[in-house]
Amino acid sequence: MVRYVAKRLLLAGVTLVGITIVTFAVTRLAPGDPALEAVSRGGASTMSAEAYARLRTYYELDQPVTRQYAAWLGRVVRLDFGRSFHDGRRVTDKIGERLPATLCLAGGAVVLSLAVAVPIGLASARRAGGVFDTVAGGILAALYSVPRYVMAMLLIVVVGVHLDWFSPYGLRSENFEDMSYPGKAADLARHFALIVFCFAYPLIAYQARFIRGNLLEVLGQDYVRTARAKGLPERVVLHRHAFRNTLLPLITVVGLLVPSALGGSVILETMFQWPGIGQLLFQAMTQRDYPVVMALTVVAAVVVLLCTLLADLTYALADPRVRYA
């Protein structure tokens, strides 16, 4: 087991370094000059060559790309992502302010997707080919085919603006601090509902069909037929025997739910004006704020690699044969 963990950690480390190299190169190859951006934000129309050179030296933009990357990597090892080109604040402070909002979305999407997908998958497998299975399959396929940004636009316009059932923008209302505790909870729910649904509905569709397919495969096994021959109720056969044995392949998929939810955060958080790291990344890219872009890339890569590693380790603990693959 130790050897298996060591191999996975080494592979994750190499993958992380490769991601940072590609991202660093792409940001440096993008058109534009952060030094000129900083000057234009300051309101200056002209500047001296000496001042411009000093600004590029401060940003280390006058160094070769390889030396820039080596210097950046040396700081990252010490968990120092530098300061933002846009406002001079520490990058870690900016991410720390935004990360909880995005993690709440990802966590809520995972919980909601499993809470809805598991019952639908179980019911569809139990009544395979029936009316419920056919209707549920059609609805889930239709949902899965709708892009998140299209669904977000429809919900914002119809449910948020015209019907005014939920608040489509921001994390909370302006008078949030003046509300009672029940009022605050209701206000957070009104802001949380639409964007969480946009994160969760593709996961619900995929998970439900995944569970149904695996259950139907397991229900054809000999031990399930034996359980039925003993006279056990169909509910007991489905939940205690069949569903337990579908958990192994489900572990890997669940381990990738959080990265999948985070993957849509840039567009959705920008559309819903949600103060998370997705919106921060969009702003950093439009402002050519290299330190923030690189830091968020590292954070996203670490989250994906950790979730994948945890899924692999859990799978290996559940099935020792995986360790020797």
Domain locations along the chain: 2-77, 100-324
Q: What is the pLDDT of residues 66-122, one digit of tens each?
A: 888 888 888 888 888 888 888 888 999 999 999 889 888 888 888 898 899 989 998
Pick the CATH number of 100-324 from 1.20.1440.130, 3.30.465.10, 1.25.10.10, 1.10.3720.10: 1.10.3720.10
Contacts of 205 (CB under 8 A, 6+ apart): 117, 140, 141, 143, 144
Contacts of 265 (CB under 8 A, 6+ apart): 102, 105, 106, 199, 276, 277, 278
pLDDT band per the 50, 70, 90 thresholds, residue 318: low
d(CA 39, CA 52): 9
Distance CA(271)–CA(148), nearest Å, equals: 11
pTM of the model: 0.79
Burial of 29 (0-12, 13-18, 19+ CB in 10 A): exposed
Distance CA 3, CA 94 (A): 38
pLDDT given for residue 320 in this prediction? 60
Distance, C-alpha 4 to centroid of its chain: 26
The dihedral over CA atoms of 249, 301, 310, 143, expressed in degrees to the nearest 10, equals -30
- C-alpha–C-alpha distance, residues 178 and 171, integer Å: 15
Interior/surface letters 168-182, b for 16+ CB within 10 angstroms, e for the rest: beebbbeeeeeeeee
| φ and ψ of 217, to 5 deg | -65, -40
Residue type at 8?
R
How many angstroms separate the CA atoms of 324 and 213, rounded?
Answer: 27
Q: What is the per-residue pLDDT for 48?
A: 60
* DSSP labels, 291-311: HHHHHHHHHHHHHHHHHHHHH
Mean of all residue pLDDT scores within the chain: 82
Distance in angstroms (rounded) separating the CA atoms of residues 83 and 92: 8
pLDDT digits (tens, 9 = 90+) for 24-80: 888 877 776 676 666 655 544 455 666 677 777 777 777 888 888 888 888 888 888
Q: Is the pLDDT of residue 238 over 60?
A: yes
Highest mean pLDDT among 120-129, 217-226, 232-241, 252-261 belongs to: 120-129
Q: CB atoms < 10 A from the CB of 161, how many?
A: 11
Taking a C-beta distance cutoff of 8 angstroms, is the pair 307, 26 a contact? no
